[in-house]
């Protein structure tokens, strides 16, 4: 006689909570281990041992695939926990739970998560052996396609291996493939280079400033007031046009090693680092005590007024 749902479902809920906690802990452990392995791959690439790196990187790829599988199974466990009331409502499996239940039944024996295997055993008691056979053979196609793909033991494709090595080299600043940095070209200028912005360097710039300085002069009081207003002004953080849209691409995965974000077929790049803006702010702060280029200070104006009185 099968156990009653009134006693079986609470046990399933307890095991689901334990399985979720275990899955999260294993994911954190695997992520820390993968970071250490990536550092080792970067050292191999830097030493020119590309063949060895190509073989060893398959372990990293497989570890990432297992981590992604654990993330999927964690979501299915949370779904069953949230819809536990449907388990009590009927002795048969509700259509809203069928994919989650069969995916857990299919994947649990192939994982190292004992709590997940306990969940599977309780689900077998709940729905019977015939239901389990359908899940294991996936005769009706209810098992998640992503779960089936993650459990495939085929070796990774060459494109995936090469993409992993490229991303590792990029993350750790390694020039791989050799000459890759040279192909990128010079970085774009983030600041305007119009004449007069940085004080000028040639005779023409200096002459032009003298002409600008020889123009109409303000009164002494007005000039002092303008100087005070300029000293109170807050320098801009960036000279780039402000955009209401800030996009960062999703994290790389084995399904998409080079993630991109596009809008109307135009690729959106991540927000640039504020290094250039910080440099601009620093320069503006250094000029805070003086006046912008092309505007004479108070001492220079006093000398000119004295010369005019003569």
Neighbours of 9 (CB within 10 A): 18
**Is 15 in the same domain as 140?**
yes
Are 14 and 123 in the same domain? yes
At 82 the pLDDT is 95
Q: Last residue of some domain: 120, 140, 167?
A: 167
The answer on 213 and 160 residing in a single domain is no
* 52 and 159 co-located in one domain: yes
- SS3 string of 244-298? CCCCCCCCCCCCCCCCCEEECCEEECCCCCCHHHHHHHHHHHHCCCCCCCCCCCH
End-to-end C-alpha distance for the chain, whole angstroms: 118
Q: Is residue 259 part of a domain?
A: no
Q: What is the CA radius of gyration of the chain?
A: 33
Structural domain contains residue 69: yes
Helix (H, G, I), strand (E, B) or coil at 92: coil
**Residue that is last in its domain, among 167, 189, 218:** 167
| Residues 141 and 223 occupy one common structural domain | no
CATH number at residue 83: 1.20.1260.60
Q: Is residue 125 part of a domain?
A: yes
Report DSSP letters for 148-217, one per residue.
Answer: HHHT--PPPPHHHHHHHHHHHHHHTT---STTHHHHH-SPPP-S---TTSS---SHHHHHHHHHHHTSPP
- 244 belongs to a structural domain: no
Residue that the structure tokens 């020889």 belong to: 214
Q: Which residues contact 184 (CB under 8 A, 6 or more apart)?
A: none
Residues 158, 207, single domain; the answer is no
In Å, how far from its chain's centre is CA 111?
28
In a domain, 193, yes or no: no
Asked, for residue 40, whether it belongs to a domain, the answer is yes
- What pTM, to 2 d.p., does this model score? 0.62
Residue 172 maps to a domain: no
Rounded to whole angstroms, how far apart are CA atoms 116 and 104?
Answer: 8
Q: What is the pLDDT of residue 280?
A: 47
What is the pLDDT, as a whole number, of residue 306? 76
What whole-number distance in Å separates Cα of residue 294 and Cα of residue 310?
A: 25
132 lies in the same domain as 55: yes
In a shared domain, residues 55 and 156: yes
Of 167, 188, 214, which residue is a domain's last? Answer: 167
Is 263 within 8 Å of 246 (Cβ atoms)? no
Peptide bond into 214 cis (omega under 30): no
The count of domains in the chain is 2
3-state secondary structure of 69: helix
Q: Do residue 52 and residue 131 come from a single domain?
A: yes
In angstroms, rounded to a whole number, what is the distance separating the alpha carbons of residues 300 and 122?
89
Residues 145 and 215 in one domain: no
User: What pLDDT, on a 0 to 100 scale, did the predictor assign at position 302?
Assistant: 76
pLDDT tens sequence for the chain (310 residues): 445 556 899 999 999 999 999 999 999 999 999 999 999 999 999 999 999 999 999 999 999 999 999 999 999 999 999 999 998 888 889 999 999 999 999 999 999 999 999 999 999 999 999 999 999 999 999 999 999 999 998 899 999 999 999 999 999 999 888 876 655 555 555 555 444 444 444 444 555 544 454 444 445 566 666 666 666 666 655 555 555 555 566 666 776 676 766 665 666 665 544 444 455 445 555 555 444 455 666 777 777 777 776 6
> Taking the CB of residue 169, how many other CB atoms lie within 10 A of it?
20
Residue 303 resides in a domain: yes
Q: Looking at the structure, do residues 23 and 86 belong to the same domain, yes or no?
A: yes
* Interatomic CA distance for residues 281 and 268, integer angstroms: 26
pLDDT score of 303: 77
| Owning domain of residue 294 | 203-238+274-309
152 and 46 share one domain: yes
């Amino acid at each position: 006689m099968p156990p009653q749902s009134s006693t079986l479902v609470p046990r399933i809920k307890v095991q689901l909570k334990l399985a979720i906690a275990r899955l999260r802990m294993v994911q954190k452990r695997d992520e820390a281990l993968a970071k250490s392995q990536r550092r080792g791959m970067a050292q191999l690439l830097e030493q020119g041992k590309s063949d060895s790196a190509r073989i060893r990187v398959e372990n990293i790829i497989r570890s990432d695939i297992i981590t992604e599988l654990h993330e999927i199974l964690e979501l299915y466990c949370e779904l069953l926990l949230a819809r536990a009331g449907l388990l009590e409502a009927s002795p048969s499996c509700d259509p809203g739970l069928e994919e989650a239940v069969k995916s857990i039944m299919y994947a649990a024996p192939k994982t190292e998560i004992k709590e997940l295997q306990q969940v599977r055993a309780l689900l077998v008691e709940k729905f019977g052996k015939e239901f389990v056979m359908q899940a294991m053979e996936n005769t009706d196609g209810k098992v998640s396609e992503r779960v089936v793909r993650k459990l495939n033991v085929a070796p990774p494709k060459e494109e995936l291996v090469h993409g992993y090595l490229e991303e590792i080299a990029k993350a750790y600043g390694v020039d791989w493939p050799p000459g890759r940095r040279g192909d990128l070209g010079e970085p774009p200028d983030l600041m305007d280079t119009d004449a007069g912005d940085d004080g000028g360097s040639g005779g023409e710039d200096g002459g032009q400033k003298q002409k600008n300085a020889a123009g109409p002069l303000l009164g002494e009081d007005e000039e002092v007031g303008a100087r005070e207003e300029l000293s109170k002004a807050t320098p801009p953080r960036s000279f780039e046009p402000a955009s209401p849209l800030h996009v960062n691409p999703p994290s790389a995965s084995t399904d998409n090693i080079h993630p991109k974000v596009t809008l109307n077929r135009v690729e959106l790049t991540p927000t640039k680092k504020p290094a250039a803006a910080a440099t601009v702010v620093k320069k503006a702060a250094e000029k805070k005590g003086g006046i912008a280029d092309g505007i004479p200070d108070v001492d220079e104006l006093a000398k000119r007024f004295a010369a005019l009185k003569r």
